[in-house]
Amino acid sequence: MSWAGLANNQIVSFNNLQDAVNTGQFTALATIPVSNEEITKTDASTYVNCWTSYPLFANKASNQLIAKRDLVTTTSTTTSSTTLFTNLFFDATTSACGYYITAIDVNSVVPTLTGGTNVPFCTDGHSYNTTQTGTNETLNLTVGSLSLNGCITVTDSAFNTYSQNIPSNGVYSFTGLVIDNTTTVQIIIADNFC
């Protein structure tokens, strides 16, 4: 199965991992075995450059199997004259801070910070660029340090609006999003339920 065809909750095989490298989702660190065998946390960090501090990955035991949502690429900083379009913007209401956004990914790829401070945050004005653009994208937001229930509202590039109540720490996924490099996706984080 291709990396793109793998659901976020499905376990990753060596062949899935190789497809992710072939399609530019990850950079290989070593030759990946050709096999449908499912990979462990140790396998993932051995064969691809992945973000080992990502909470869903970091909390796994070394011999535990890895689902697609557990595996995200690392980001690197380079000097360039290209300005990245901000296609994700986090806006906190004035009363927000009952929880923190501790990790962000789109289709398991961590976006690049273009303004504000990186995760974790509960404040206003954080801008990101994701290379994961299209008409059926999945935004995963990890919530931590919850002290007050909340609401996350996402308005995608096609002005579709999605809201989820935030009753506990964990990963909240917004699927079927339209993300482009023309209209910024607005993510509103607020205290209290929607």
The residue among 42, 70, 98 that closes a domain is 70
Residue 125 domain flag: yes
Single-letter amino acid, residue 156: D
Residue 65 domain flag: yes
Do 105 and 46 have their domain in common? no
Task: Tell me how many domains the chain contains.
Answer: 2
Share of the chain above pLDDT 90, in %: 46
pTM exceeds 0.75: no
Do 153 and 186 have their domain in common? yes
Domain, as residue range, for 142? 88-191
Do 129 and 159 have their domain in common? yes
DSSP string, 161-194: EEEEEE-SSEEEEEEEEEE-SSSPEEEEEEES--
DSSP 3-state of 8:
coil
Do 106 and 48 have their domain in common? no
In contact, 74 and 50? CB cutoff 8 Å: yes
Do 119 and 181 have their domain in common? yes
The three-point CA angle 91-163-128 to 5° equals 35
Q: Would you place residue 5 in the very low, low, confident or very high pLDDT band (cuts 50, 70, 90)?
A: confident
Do 135 and 103 have their domain in common? yes
User: What integer is the mean pLDDT of 148-173?
Assistant: 94
Please check the confidence at residue 78 and state whether its pLDDT lies above 70.
no
User: What integer is the mean pLDDT of 19-34?
Assistant: 86
Residue 117 domain flag: yes
Residue 81 domain flag: no
Q: What strands lie across the sheet with 100-106, from one edge to the other?
A: 100-106, 134-144, 170-179
Cα distance between residue 68 and residue 2, in whole Å:
11
Do 109 and 187 have their domain in common? yes
Do 180 and 94 have their domain in common? yes
Cα distance between residue 151 and residue 139, in whole Å:
15
Cα distance between residue 30 and residue 50, in whole Å:
13
How much is the pLDDT for 28? 83
DSSP 3-state of 123:
coil
The residue among 24, 41, 70 that closes a domain is 70
How much is the pLDDT for 160? 95
Residue 9 domain flag: no
Do 18 and 109 have their domain in common? no
Do 187 and 92 have their domain in common? yes
Residue 45 domain flag: yes
In contact, 164 and 151? CB cutoff 8 Å: yes
User: What integer is the mean pLDDT of 159-173?
Assistant: 95
The residue among 70, 96, 116 that closes a domain is 70
Please check the confidence at residue 76 and state whether its pLDDT lies above 60.
no
Residue 5 domain flag: no
User: What integer is the mean pLDDT of 9-17?
Assistant: 91
Residue 164 domain flag: yes
User: What integer is the mean pLDDT of 99-108?
Assistant: 93
- Residue range 104-146, pLDDT digits in tens: 999 999 999 888 888 888 887 888 999 999 999 999 999 988 8
Longest CA–CA separation in the chain, Å: 51
Do 177 and 128 have their domain in common? yes
Share of the chain above pLDDT 70, in %: 92
DSSP string, 95-110: T--SSEEEEEEETTBP
Do 122 and 27 have their domain in common? no
Please check the confidence at residue 77 and state whether its pLDDT lies above 50.
no
